[in-house]
Each structure stands twice: as structure tokens, then as C-alpha cells.
Amino acid sequence: MTVVTVLHPGTMGAEVARLGVQGGATVRWVSSGRSKASRQRAADAGLQECADLHDALHDCDVVLSICPPAHAEDIARQAAGYRGIYVDANAIAPERVHRIAELLPDARVVDGAIIGPPPKRPATTRLYLSGDTEAVANLFEGTALEVVVISDQLGQASALKMAYASYQKASRVLAATAHALANQHGVGEHLAREAVLLEGRPLAESDAFTGAAARAWRWAPEMLEIATTLMAAGLPADMAAGAARTLDRWVAVRDRTDLSLAEVLAMLAVAPPEAPA
């Protein structure tokens, strides 16, 4: 039987650990210093309690690190000397995954990325893996957590998470800011109505990006006007100003409709030339 240690059973970690138990593994957790809520989650998930990390890592086949992103390296340092499979499934940049691999030279580090809510139901949550994934991919077979192996290249799973979250998280913040601005000007109900009428899923509509590039010369100044309006209302304007700077990278292709998707995306990685003084 595969022995897994989860660090730590927060809301997401506990659900993933529960599915590990469901998949036939013995899943441990470290109770020292953890909250009453963590203890209850671990009990509900059927996890085996260990008093300290040393006990939890003894004869452990796989470690699953699922913690707040800021603590990913600290958790890895605590596991120094571990010789099994260490899955970092935190929302961190690819560069940090490579640093974690350097912190654990004796372990087989696997890059993981969880996309979706805590996996209580099938077809809602994916665990993407990259690196040396063979021993991990089967842990959740037959459970609600879908495992997707990307490649053997460490960092690709985290890159996917960063790309996805850059849209998913920022779009919520942008929407909240838009509603706050509308409410301050007494037009909240009208914005809500327009929101209902909106169609489409921008992240899936990549064919629209070439049109956006062609119109960037008009959109960039509009985003600066939006930034000014937000600042006047006492609201954060950084994202609007940042959008204007991003659009500036497309300004040179004003009204062009002959560019491919690959070309307009590549342009976003090239800073525009500075205006003459």
C-alpha cells in the first residue's frame, strides 16, 4: 500500500487527501501545531495522525505539499533529507519549483498544479503534473480528482497554473472594481444589466485576440481614461493602467487584420520602443 503524507490538510489539501484514501493509499498528516479545524478536516478525511514530520516521513512514498504559496519553500526545507517523491502542488511560479527541487536533492520532485475547487464531485477539479510523474499519476485513479500528466519537464504544471490563475483571479478583481466604480456613480443597476447581456468566455475565445491587437491603438487611451476615473473614485487603478501598458505592445499593428494568433501573442513578450524625449 502506498503511504502518502499531506502537508497540510487545509480545505483543498484535506479533500485531495480524502481522495487519496479513497484510492487505496494510507494518508498521513502532521498534527503538531495545527488548528482544531485542521484536526477535524483530517479526521473527516480518514487521515492517519502523526505527531511530527519525522514520523510522517518515515517509510513515506509520496509527500503532497498543498499549502499557501508563501510557505512552499519553508515546507520543503522542513522535509530536507527526504528521499521519496515530493509533489509540490502549490500555486507558485515555475522558478520556485526549481528552487524547491534544489532544496530537496535526494527526493524526486514533481511539479503539480490544482485547477478547480476542492474535489468533492467528479469533473470539477484537475491535478496537472509535470516532471517524474509515473508513481503519482495512479494515486487518484477512480476518484473525483482527474490527473493530467503534461510532460517530464519540471515547471510546466506551475506555468499552467500561473497562466490560468492570471485570468481567473484577475477577472474577479476587475469585475469587483467595475461594480464598485458603477455603484459610486449611481449606475450599478445599469452595469448589472449589461453584465447579464454579456456573452462569451474570453479565455476560450483566442480567435478574438487578433482583433484586440488591431484595436489596441484605441483601447490603450480608453484604459488610461478608466484609470483616471478609478483614481478619482478612490479605487485601485493599477490594473487599468497595466492593461494600457499591455495594449501599447500592440499599438504598432494598428488596424491590421493579417496577423496570426501566434504573432500577436509573441508581441506581448516584447516591450514597445520608448517614445523620444
- Type of residue found at 144: A
- Position 196 in a domain: no
Q: 42 with 149, same domain?
A: yes
- The model's pTM is 0.90
The number of folded domains in the chain is: 2
pLDDT at 276 over 60: no
Domain boundary among 127, 143, 160: 160
Q: What is the DSSP string of 103-116?
A: H-TTSEEEEEEEES
| Cβ pair 98, 154 in contact under 8 A | yes
How far apart, in whole angstroms, are the C-alpha atoms of residue 216 and residue 254?
A: 7
| Cβ pair 193, 179 in contact under 8 A | no
Domain boundary among 102, 130, 160: 160
Q: 149 with 210, same domain?
A: no
Give the domain range for residue 130.
3-160
What average pLDDT is seen over the chain? 94
Q: 226 with 152, same domain?
A: no
- Position 246 in a domain: yes
- Position 103 in a domain: yes
Q: 156 with 211, same domain?
A: no
How far apart, in whole angstroms, are the C-alpha atoms of residue 131 and residue 101?
A: 11
pLDDT at 277 over 80: no
Please give the grid coordinates belonging to residue 177: 472594481
What is the tens place of the pLDDT at every residue in 231-272?
A: 999 999 999 999 999 999 999 999 999 999 999 999 999 887
- Position 184 in a domain: no
- Position 170 in a domain: no
What is the tens place of the pLDDT at every residue in 27-41?
A: 999 998 888 999 999
Residue with cell 497595466: 242
